Amino acid sequence: MIEGTTRLVAIVGSPVAQVKMPGTMNRYFAEQGLDLALVPFDVPPAGIPDFIALLKQGRNLLGSIVTVPHKQAMAAGADHITDRARTIGAVNVVRRDADGQLHGDHLDGFGFLNAARAHGFHPRGRAALVVGVGGAGGAIACALCETGIARLVLVDLDTARVQDLGAKLRARFPTVQIDFGCATLAGLDLIAQATPMGMRAGDPLPLPQALLDTLTAETLVGDAITVPAITPLLAFAQARGCEVQTGLEMSRASMEFLGSYLGVMPTVDPAALVASPLP
């Protein structure tokens, strides 16, 4: 129950009706007996400056989880962001300190890899393809580099965006082989789909059919989309014999990292956790 003493965390997006984090995180707060609540805010892009001002002034606001389409704007409005967020050009969480300063990071990539860890995937020495290098895809690509991926393939319809991210990742992680596109999916250990393709009925598959026909059962295929749970890409991958990972798995696996950054859950090092095997 929300009282006058309740400290609040926001989750901001437009729309926000599809987000699953409030139910999951509020159940955790209730189970732990914490006087905390996660509240969704549907804010249009024009309202983000006012939302940032509210975060800075709201003394019972601890910060905000950030979803589409505000990840870039919230990064620009934060007072401090991590090197990771600066590389990606976006944040998915901001924390308010006692002085009202906003600190931002982007942890979506570690949420994706935490879910992949439950499927037995470990990045070190492996090969992965990331489809779509916007906020979520860029975060997945960066997290893969931080945790030891050997080869990373980046694909995006926006040529300038994929080239920009690739250049930044090469500068930060010179030992990682970074390619733009590939002739075959054979030999890849992971495919991470982070475009909106698959959210709406009739959407095309996010990769050309001829390339998808090279997919082998050894590849774990994951999608960042939460609705539908089984996207057309995941359905195709299942038919090829692949293990698949849903966007809902990614969302659940992100919670401990977001909660840790916001100071409402136990402290955890995302990179160390996702790089380690399950106990």
- The pTM of this model reads 0.92
Q: Are residues 139 and 245 in the same domain?
A: yes
Q: Rounded to whole angstroms, how far apart are CA atoms 83 and 173?
A: 13
Q: Are residues 96 and 120 in the same domain?
A: no
Q: Are residues 146 and 240 in the same domain?
A: yes
Q: Are residues 88 and 141 in the same domain?
A: no
Work out how many domains the chain is built from and give that number: 2
Residue 269 belongs to a domain? no
Q: Are residues 31 and 96 in the same domain?
A: yes
Residue 125 belongs to a domain? yes
Termini Cα distance of the chain? 36
Active-site residues, by number, are 71
- Look up the CATH number of the domain holding residue 143: 3.40.50.720
Contact 269, 107 (CB under 8 A): no
Q: Could you list the residue range(s) of the whole structural domain that residue 199 is in?
A: 109-249
Nearest to 16 by CA among 226, 233, 260, 192: 226
Domain boundary among 54, 83, 106: 106
Instruction: Note down pLDDT in tens along the chain; length 279 residues.
Output: 889 999 999 999 999 988 888 999 999 999 999 999 999 999 999 999 999 999 999 999 999 999 989 999 999 999 999 999 999 999 999 999 999 999 999 999 999 999 999 999 999 999 999 999 988 999 999 999 999 999 999 999 999 999 999 999 999 999 999 999 999 999 999 999 999 898 888 899 999 999 999 999 999 999 999 889 999 999 999 999 999 999 999 999 999 999 999 999 999 999 999 888 777
Residue 263 belongs to a domain? no
Q: Are residues 122 and 238 in the same domain?
A: yes
